[in-house]
Amino acid sequence: MLNAQNVAQLDDVHAPKGIQRIRRLPDSQLGAMWDSIILDSAIKSQLVSQAVLNFTLRGKISRNVIPLHGVILLVGPPGTGKTSLARGLANRVADMFPRGGFKLLEVDPHSLTSSAMGKTQRAVSELFSQSISEAASAGPTIVLLDEVETLAADRSKLSLEANPVDIHRATDAVLVQLDQLAEQHPNLLFIATSNFPEAVDAAFTSRCDLVVEVPLPERTACAQILTDCLNGLAQTFPAIGQLARSNDIGALAAECVGLDGRAIRKMVATALSTSPETAADPSRLTMANLLLAARASKANRLKGARK
């Protein structure tokens, strides 16, 4: 269990049930993660502003004036950087409040819903009303609710035959707990993510202070992701730096439009494994390898979409 005393030694604390990881913020690794996600700067700025406002406003302004719940939701296709952005955002907020003593709790939704039948609701209630509430009592807390559709499933779409009543009740419990925590803990912020916004309960979405769609990268963003990836490789294999600076990056980026950021970075790995020789000596990577790998990734993606 997490209490005010042992939060002081977070690194030694065994995370309570339902919490996968607890970190002190700021954390430079998360700073690098935020920078590595290429996204319209207006969207990034909106996320930071909303998250910072949460901590400046909620403790001072009545919920009767502005009913903030302290929840930000990121939605978008798989591999678009939502989880990375959520972690990076937590870090950016902590950066804005030096000596704030922020921490980040990462919830593992599957460990709650895989509890024995009939226990999900209780596990969810305990997580929010005990572990999260105690952490927030000890200091500013940001909670990552990844794949939130698992915890706040749309009750109107769940068939009672296929989905046990337990899951319906878990959604009820999440909503009740969010309301209570919003009242009790102004220094708490949830950052939730979902690939399936249509599967998230409307009452959950309605409690979100900001819902942001994280899109697939357009052409310029694809070029930036490719350049970032190739420059990263060039730190170890300097010859690859020439590819990052090549005029053909634009054409390669055009081939990547339609892929998500994860797929683009993986495509570069595919290009590196074009032959045993390139794999053994990545400095041999060529633009032709990259173009072929990009076309193959796109073709696979389209084939997957038609299935």
83 binds Mg ion (CB under 5 A): yes
Q: Give min distance, CB of 224 to ligand ATP, in A.
A: 7
Query: Applying CB under 6 A, does 297 fall inside the site for ligand ATP?
Result: no
Number of residues that bind ligand ATP (CB under 6 A): 19
Of 20-28, 72-80, 271-279, 286-294: span binding ligand ATP (CB under 6 A)? 72-80
Rule CB under 6 A: is residue 195 a binding residue for ligand ATP? yes
Q: Taking CB under 5 A as the rule, does residue 54 contact Mg ion?
A: no
φ/ψ of 69, rounded to 5, equals -105, -15
Is 150 among the residues that bind Mg ion (CB under 5 A)?
Answer: no
Task: Tell me the backbone φ, ψ of residue 141, rounded to 5 degrees.
Answer: -135, 135
Of the pair 81, 186, the CB lying nearest ligand ATP is at: 81
84 contacts ligand ATP (rule: CB under 6 A): yes
| The only residue of 16, 79, 197, 258 in contact with ligand ATP, by rule CB under 6 A | 79
| Closest distance of CB 216 from ligand ATP, Å | 8
80 binds Mg ion (CB under 5 A): no
Applying CB under 6 A, does 186 fall inside the site for ligand ATP? no
* Closest to ligand ATP by CB, 37 or 290: 37
Residue 225 contacts ligand ATP per CB under 6 A: yes
**Nearer residue to ligand ATP within complex by CB, 136 or 152:** 152
Write out the residues near Mg ion by the rule CB under 5 A: 83
State the residues that interact with ligand ATP by CB under 6 A.
36-39, 78-84, 193, 195, 217, 225, 260-262, 265
